[in-house]
Every structure is written in structure tokens, then in C-alpha cells.
């Protein structure tokens, strides 16, 4: 029995699927395949499936992953992507499957792309974004099930790219992710809109990569 890691994309309309519904969708997809998957034991057997870093609702994912246990060691891994994709909706696509290497605890960073569309124009938004980053601190409240934590975003986030074209400002950001600290990119977007004094007309957020502490891809 092997622990297999499936890498997939969650795009367009699928970004509005909750984590619970995503799990159900993958479970039903497995039921429509001939993949020899391991089921849990007990009164309610179900496909063993764990997601390393569940993605926030409304955020697209380009390199998401989940693990499952493959009963037959000789089963071709390329068949996993082919058979699952035949059973999944168009906006959920399996990219590849491989034997798991790292434990989820190794995850330290997430990289995101924010596309902000606004009648003010991308260049004007970029100028405001520059002033936003020039502040001495960017304080936000991060809510968890147990408490509300005040954080300074400024030392925690890294700007990877910035570009403007027409009405769109595109940003690339790296944020802490994983068990120790997991920052939702919508915290950054909310803080920027507060600094701007209004909401941008339309924002699209995607997680483009999940990284380990040494900045290598989670695998």
C-alpha cells in the first residue's frame, strides 16, 4: 500500500466549492473509477483522503494536493489522473499523481496572484499599493475558532511581482502558510481596500504554489 499525492487545479466556478463539498466531489469521483483506493474501517467506511492545506473559499488553486492510499503498488500512477479527470467537473482538473515525499508539516509558504480590476485603472491602483506598502505597519485581525489575533502584515508578506495593464493591477505575493501560521490572502486584500477607502470593483485571487521552508515546491 502506497501513500499517493494527487495534485490538482480548482479554478473558475469551482473556487466557490467549499472544502467539505470538494471532499465529497473527490470521493464521488473515486467511486466512478477503477482505482484501487483504501477505505477507512469502522461503522462508516469512506475513502481515506487528507488535504495538506485547504484553500479558502473563493480562492483559485493552481497546485493543490490531497493524499490517499493506493492498495495495489503496481497500479500505473498516470491512470489516476486520467480516470479522475473523466469523473470530475471541468473546473476541477487533476494534473498528476506521485508518491508522497514531504509531510504536510513541511509546508511553510503559499504564493498568490491577485488581479484587481477597477475603473480607476491598474496604474492608479499600483500607486496606491506602493503607498500601502510604505506604511510603518499594516495591522489586521486574524480570527480563529479560539481567538482573535492582531498581526502586522508588513514583515510577513513578500511582494514577488507587480504589473498594471488597463483597468487591472496584478500582484504576486508570498505569505506564510501551514500549521504555524496560515495567512489568508483576503486579509491582505481587505487591508488594502481599507487603505484605499473603498472596495475595488472586482478581485480574483489564486494560490499558485505551496512551498516548504527552503522555498522548494511541496511534493
Task: Report the candidate in 54, 159, 164 with the shortest Cα–Cα distance to residue 112.
Answer: 159
Domain co-membership, 26 together with 45 = yes
- For residues 205 and 111, state if they share a domain: yes
CATH number of the domain enclosing 119: 3.30.70
CB 96 within 8 A of CB 28: no
Distance between CA atoms of 17 and 198, rounded to whole angstroms?
27
Indicate the helix (H) or strand (E) that contains 165: strand 158-165
What's the pTM value of the predicted model, to 2 decimals? Answer: 0.92
Q: What is the pLDDT of residues 112-125, one digit of tens each?
A: 999 999 999 999 99
Domain-located, residue 176: yes
Task: Give me the pLDDT at residue 44, please.
Answer: 85
Q: Looking at the structure, tell me whether residues 8 and 86 fall in a common domain.
A: yes
The answer to whether residue 184 is domain-embedded is yes
Distances (CA, A) of 101 to 125, 157, 212, 213: 41, 27, 12, 15
C-alpha cell at 55: 484553500
Same domain, 34 and 94: yes
If asked whether residues 159 and 198 sit together in one domain, one would say: yes
Q: Are 10 and 92 a contacting pair, CB within 8 Å?
A: yes
- Domain membership flag for residue 68: yes
Which pLDDT does position 71 carry in this prediction? 95
Residues 115 and 201 occupy one common structural domain: yes
Q: Which of 62, 85, 100 is the C-terminal boundary of a domain?
A: 100
- 30 and 111 belong to one structural domain: no
Q: Please indicate, yes or no, if residue 219 is contained in any of the structural domains.
A: no
pLDDT at 145 over 80: no
Q: How many domains does the chain have?
A: 2
- Supply φ then ψ for residue 27, to 5 degrees: -60, -45
| Nearest by Cα to 97 from 28, 33, 40 | 33
pLDDT band, very low/low/confident/very high, at 128 (cuts 50, 70, 90):
very high
Handedness of CA 67, 69, 74, 80 (dihedral sign): negative
Residues spanned by the domain of 137: 107-212
pLDDT per residue over 60-85, tens digit each? Answer: 999 999 999 999 999 999 999 999 99
Q: Are residues 114 and 69 in the same domain?
A: no
Choosing from 50, 72, 100, the residue where a domain stops is 100
* 17 has pLDDT over 90: yes
Please give the pLDDT value at position 187.
Answer: 96
Question: Domain of 42: which CATH number?
Answer: 3.30.70.580
Last residue of some domain: 78, 100, 122?
100
- Determine the Cα–Cα distance for residues 10 and 63; give it in Å rounded to an integer: 8
In a domain, 91, yes or no: yes
Q: Are residues 95 and 153 in the same domain?
A: no
Looking at the structure, do residues 138 and 69 belong to the same domain, yes or no? no
pLDDT band at 193 (very low <50, low <70, confident <90, very high): very high
The average pLDDT across 139-151 equals 87
Nearest to 25 by CA among 78, 92, 70, 95: 92
Provide mean pLDDT across the span 131-153. Answer: 92
User: In this structure, is residue 137 part of a structural domain?
Assistant: yes
Residue 218 inside a domain? The answer is no
Helix or strand holding residue 75 (H, E): none
Amino acid at each position: 500500500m502506497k501513500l499517493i499525492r494527487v495534485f490538482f487545479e480548482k479554478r473558475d466556478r469551482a473556487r466557490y466549492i467549499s472544502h467539505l463539498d470538494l471532499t465529497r466531489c473527490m470521493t464521488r469521483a473515486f467511486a466512478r473509477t477503477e482505482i484501487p483506493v483504501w477505505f477507512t474501517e469502522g461503522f462508516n467506511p469512506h475513502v481515506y483522503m487528507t488535504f495538506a492545506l485547504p484553500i479558502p473559499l473563493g480562492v483559485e488553486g493552481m497546485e493543490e494536493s490531497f493524499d490517499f492510499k493506493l492498495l495495489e503498488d503496481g497500479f500505473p500512477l498516470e491512470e489516476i489522473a486520467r480516470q479522475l479527470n473523466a469523473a470530475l467537473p471541468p473546473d476541477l482538473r487533476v494534473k498528476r499523481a506521485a508518491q508522497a515525499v514531504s509531510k504536510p508539516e513541511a509546508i511553510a509558504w503559499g504564493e498568490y496572484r491577485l488581479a484587481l480590476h477597477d475603473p480607476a485603472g491598474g496604474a492608479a491602483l499600483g500607486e496606491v499599493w506602493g503607498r500601502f506598502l510604505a506604511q510603518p505597519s499594516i495591522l489586521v485581525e486574524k480570527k480563529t475558532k479560539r481567538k482573535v489575533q492582531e498581526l502586522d502584515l508588513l514583515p510577513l508578506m513578500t511582494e514577488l511581482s507587480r504589473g498594471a495593464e488597463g483597468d487591472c493591477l496584478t500582484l504576486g505575493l508570498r505569505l506564510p502558510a501551514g500549521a504555524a501560521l496560515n495567512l489568508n490572502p483576503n486579509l491582505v486584500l481587505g487591508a488594502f481596500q481599507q487603505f484605499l477607502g473603498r472596495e475595488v470593483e472586482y478581485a480574483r485571487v489564486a494560490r499558485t504554489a505551496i512551498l516548504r521552508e527552503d522555498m522548494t515546491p511541496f511534493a
